[in-house]
Amino acid sequence: MLQTSLEFLKREFFKYYYENISRLVPPEPIRSREFGFFLEKGKGMFRHKCFNSLRDFHEFILNEIPLDIYVSAANYEDPCNRDMSEKKLVNAELFFDIDAESVAAVSEEESAWICQKCNQYGIGLRDGCPSCGAPTELVRLVSEKQLNVALRETEKLIHVLREDFGIAPENMRVFYSGNRGYHVHVNQEDFLNVTGEGRREIIDYLLIQGLDEKELLNFLKRGVSIGGVSLKGVKRRVYMRVLEKAGSVEKLKTSKRETVLKMLEGIVEELKVRIDPVVTIDMHRLMRMPESINSSSGMVKRRIRLEDLPSFKPLEEAIAFGDEETCLKVKIAPRFRLGGRTFGPFKDEEVELPAYAAVYIVCKGLGEYAGR
Ligand SMILES: [Zn+2]
């Protein structure tokens, strides 16, 4: 990224933070949280930072204009200690991440490849450069289709957290990550102290892991009703759904073993909630700060009210910048939709785009700022 592009980003980011600073409210209590920031492109994360007040936090943001802002899911006694164990963990929110990439495949038309060695590029997914054979860098745009699948998965997660774990809707906060996923933060008293092992069990339950299909099949084939067995957790979850689908214990008893097994496999797929387990298990995880800009796209990590989930439109509602015409030298860009408009495809051309689309192209590394 050219220096002029970085300066353009910083100017736009500053405008957003200046006008929206009151929206940036970290989870309480602010004094017990660790903060992390990406301050410069290509540099490591500046972390172990803490703040005494919301005002200090806001001042820091407006002075530094970070590219990305993170806050710990955990509360610590000493959040700025650089030694993780010396931070002294008090408790941690439950944090879930649903990554669009892992729930739906990315399409050729929404991707571009760039060869770092000979600077060739094109639209599509290519692992190797067709000219020099060097490995390429793949740039995937934010795909509406992928995000829709991820949103359905998020609704599924919320349903399970509510119905099976008894998490109250007011203790769940749902966000579009600003790029390719959704986040769910759970801040409910009785879940804050769940240990690593307990978190592992929650993950198994959601991903339907550790299920002994043979054992379950035997139960089902013997026609044992749920009252007659002591199934717990994930086994019980699957068992109940099979019974529900089959209609009765009798039907299962008389069905072929293969038929029941097939049904079982179908139900596992249906019930599975595709969360990223690595995120949930890690109590020291830093979460992207709500309402902050995601520098992978220039969109905002946007809070979504539960009742708005079914109709949420990430590519319109998470836009952070205005529509002043901005000149851009675009290397390569597949056709993309943003802010209710369609742009591109572009190749080796100078174009005028609204600021929000220009920021997006620069953040994706597909073009450089060329003035206003
Ligand atoms: Zn090449």
Q: State in Å: Cα 350 to ligand 1 middle.
A: 23
List CB contacts of 233: < 8 A, sequence separation 6 or more.
201, 204, 205
What is the pLDDT at residue 312?
A: 96
Ligand 1 center to 117 CA (angstroms)? 5
Average pLDDT over residues 89-118: 92
Report domain extents, the chain.
Answer: 3-102+143-204+276-320, 210-271
Q: How far is the CA of 127 from the centre of ligand 1 (A)?
A: 11
Distance 131 CA to ligand 1 centre (A): 5
CATH topology of domain 3-102+143-204+276-320: DNA primase, PRIM domain (3.90.920)
- On the question of pLDDT at 152 being above 70, the answer is yes
Could you give the count of Cα atoms lying within 13 Å of 325 in the half-sphere of its Cβ?
3
CA 136 to ligand 1 center in whole angstroms: 7
| Residues 119-129, mean pLDDT to the nearest whole number | 92
Q: pLDDT higher for 228 or 371?
A: 371
The structure's pTM equals 0.93
Instruction: Say how many Å lie between the CA of residue 307 and the centre of ligand 1.
Output: 48
Percent of the chain past pLDDT 70, that is, above it, reads: 98
Cα 353 to ligand 1 centroid, rounded to whole Å: 29
* pLDDT, average across residues 352-366: 97
The larger pLDDT score, comparing residue 248 to residue 363, is at: 363
Per-residue pLDDT reduced to its tens digit, 284-339: 999 999 999 999 999 999 999 999 999 999 999 999 999 999 999 999 999 999 99
At 33-72, the pLDDT tens digits run 999 999 988 899 999 999 999 999 999 999 999 999 999 9
The answer to whether 185 touches 27, Cβ cutoff 8 Å, is yes
**What is the predicted pLDDT for the residue at 249?**
77
- Judge whether 206 and 167 are in contact, CB under 8 Å: no
Cβ atoms within 10 Å, residue 330: 22
Q: Are 134 and 116 in contact (CB under 8 A)?
A: yes
3-state secondary structure the chain: CCHHHHHHHHHHHHHHHHHHHHHCCCCCCHHHCCEEEECCCCCCCEEEECCCCHHHHHHHHHHHCCCEEEEECEEECCCCCCCHHHHCEEEECEEEEEEHHHHCCCCHHHEEEEECCCCCEEECCCCECCCCCCEEEEEECCCHHHHHHHHHHHHHHHHHHHHCCCCCHHHEEEEECCCCEEEEEECCHHHHCCCHHHHHHHHHHHHCCCCCHHHHHHHHHHCCCHHHCCCCHHHHHHHHHHHHHHCCHHHHHHCCHHHHHHHHHHHHHHHCCCCCHHHHHCCCCEEECCCCEECCCCEECEEECHHHHHHCCHHHHCECCCCCEEEEEEEEECCEEECCEEECCEEEEEEEEEHHHHHHHHHCCCEEECCC
Q: What is the pLDDT of residue 231?
A: 66
Distance 126 CA to ligand 1 centre (A): 11
Q: 328 CA distance to ligand 1 centroid (A)?
A: 24
Distance (angstroms) between ligand 1 centre and the Cα of 332 equals 15
Measure 57 CA to ligand 1 centroid, in angstroms.
44
Please give the pLDDT value at position 230: 62
Residue 140 Cα, ligand 1 centroid: separation in angstroms?
Answer: 19
**How far apart are the CA of 146 and the centre of ligand 1, in A?**
29
CA distances (Å), 12 to each of 16, 211, 325, in order? Answer: 6, 50, 13
Give me ligand 1 centre to Cα 121, in Å. 8
Q: Is the pLDDT of residue 15 over 70?
A: yes
d(C-alpha 40, C-alpha 65), whole Å: 10
Report CA(138)–ligand 1 centroid distance (Å). 13
CA–centroid distance, residue 133 to ligand 1 (Å): 6
pLDDT at 107: 86
Q: Report CA(61)–ligand 1 centroid distance (Å).
A: 39
**Over the stretch 235-283, which tens digit does the pLDDT of each residue have?**
888 888 888 888 877 887 788 888 888 888 899 999 999 999 999 999 9
Q: How remote is the CA of residue 111 from the centroid of ligand 1, in Å?
A: 17
- What's the pLDDT at 227? 58
Query: Ligand 1 centroid to 128 CA: how many Å?
Result: 8
